[in-house]
Amino acid sequence: ADSVDAAWARAWIVTAAEVLAENRVALITLDREIGDGDHGENMDRGFQAVLEHLDGLADDATPGDVLKVVATTLISTVGGAAGPLYGTAFLKAALAAGSATELDGPALVAALTAARDGIVLRGKAEPGDKTMIDAWTPAVDAATAAVAAGAGVHEILQAAASAAEAGAAATEPLVARKGRASYLGDRAIGHRDPGAQSSALLLRAAEAAAGA
Ligand code: ADP
Ligand code: MG
Ligand code: MG
């Protein structure tokens, strides 16, 4: 069957931790422009903590169990705006995944949608507010279109990641209406939102973990 499983979920998080470590300085640089300069540090530290907690998971853990460990670890170790937002995203995705051992295309899209909805529930951002939602919403839309067109899980994640990257780039000309960057007014124009960028990195890691 065309699906992702717990091995994919673990590989996603291991890959995400690597990619966030590699992009630590780049994310700090983005957050220095329109925030307080800690986003790369927050994400790197948070995902290193997640790796430690993943080691403690039972061998028969489900994808939902993996996502729940990510959620609780991010909530407890990452401060600021991004910790609770990503924590809620992974918690809602875990709830959507339930106790299933495999997620097929529709279940995967349901989990991605739940993650995005969780960020909106928590942060109340709308598309165009120059936040991580500007990566997640096009990603969910692209994933929904892909599954409706009969795409498999890898193609769904590829579509989501590409849409998230385009969405992150599209935050550059925007004025921010949520988070620290909203205090800057027009001075945020010309800078990419760090959370949208880290969201695109996370979704590309999800695709990489699903293989070709
Ligand atoms: P802090 O701003 O507390 O230092 P981070 O730097 O870790 O936290 O994260 C900042 C990112 O959080 C922003 O780039 C933006 O994408 C995201 N963000 C902030 N507020 C919101 C919100 N209300 N809804 C969605 N995303 C938000
Ligand atoms: Mg910050
Ligand atoms: Mg901060």
The rounded Å distance from CA 69 to ligand 3 centre is 23
The span from the CA of 119 to the CA of 133, in Å, is 7
Question: Are the C-beta atoms of residues 72 and 83 closer than 8 Å to each other?
Answer: no
pLDDT of 77 reads 93
Assess whether pLDDT exceeds 80 at residue 146. yes
Predicted confidence (pLDDT) per residue in 148-170, tens digit: 999 999 999 999 999 999 999 99
Atom of ligand 1 lying closest to residue 180 CA: 2
Mean pLDDT of 24-53: 97
pLDDT score at 12: 98
- For residues 187 and 189, give the distance between their C-alpha atoms in angstroms, rounded to a whole number: 5
Strand partners, 103: 4
The pair of three-digit structure tokens given for residue 171, joined into one six-digit string: 């935050």
What is the rounded CA–CA span in Å between residue 13 and residue 58? 16
Which residue is closest in CA terms to ligand 1's atom 4? 80
Neighbouring residues of the ion ligand 2, judged by CB less than 5 Å: 31, 35-36, 38-39
- Is the model's pLDDT at 211 over the cut of 90? no
Percent residues over pLDDT 90 in the chain: 98
Q: Which residues line ligand 1 (CB under 6 A)?
A: 31, 35-36, 38-39, 42, 80-82, 85, 119, 123-125, 131-133, 178-180, 193-196
Whether the pLDDT of residue 123 is over 80: the answer is: yes
pLDDT tens digit sequence for 96-106 = 999 999 999 99
HSE-CB at 8 with a 13 A cutoff on CA atoms is: 21
CA–CA dist 135, 169 (Å, integer): 9
Q: Check pLDDT > 90 for residue 186.
A: yes
Is residue 207 pLDDT above 80, yes or no?
Answer: yes
Mutate to test the pocket of ligand 1, among 29, 30, 31, 171 (most ligand atoms within 8 A of CB): 31
The whole-number average pLDDT for the span 94-121 is 98
Stretch 45-55: mean pLDDT, rounded? 96
CATH class of 3-209: mainly alpha
Atom number in ligand 1 closest to CA 34:
14
The tokens describing 170, both together, are 């599209």
Contact yes or no for 47/16 (Cβ under 8 A): yes
Angle 66-86-35 from CA coordinates, rounded to 5°:
150
pLDDT (average), residues 35-40: 97
Centroid of ligand 1 to alpha carbon of 119 (angstroms):
10
What counts of helices (H) and strands (E) characterise the chain? 9, 2
Rounded Cα gap, residues 50 and 169, in angstroms: 27
Could you give the angle at the alpha carbon of 110 between the alpha carbons of 107 and 114, nearest 5°? 140
One-letter amino acid for residue 117 of the chain: D
Distance CA 103, CA 111 (A): 9
Name residue 185's amino acid.
G
Q: At 212, is the pLDDT very low, low, confident or very high (cuts 50, 70, 90)?
A: low
- Find the 39 Cα to ligand 3 centroid distance in Å: 7
For the complex shown, is ipTM > 0.85?
yes
Per the CB < 8 A criterion, the answer to whether 210 and 4 are in contact is yes
Output the pLDDT for position 79: 84
Q: Residue 167's pLDDT is what?
A: 98
pLDDT computed for residue 1 by the predictor = 61
C-beta atoms surrounding 1 within 10 Å = 6
pLDDT cut 70: percent of the chain above it: 99
The residue type found at 212 is: A
Q: Which helix (H) or strand (E) holds 113?
A: helix 105-123
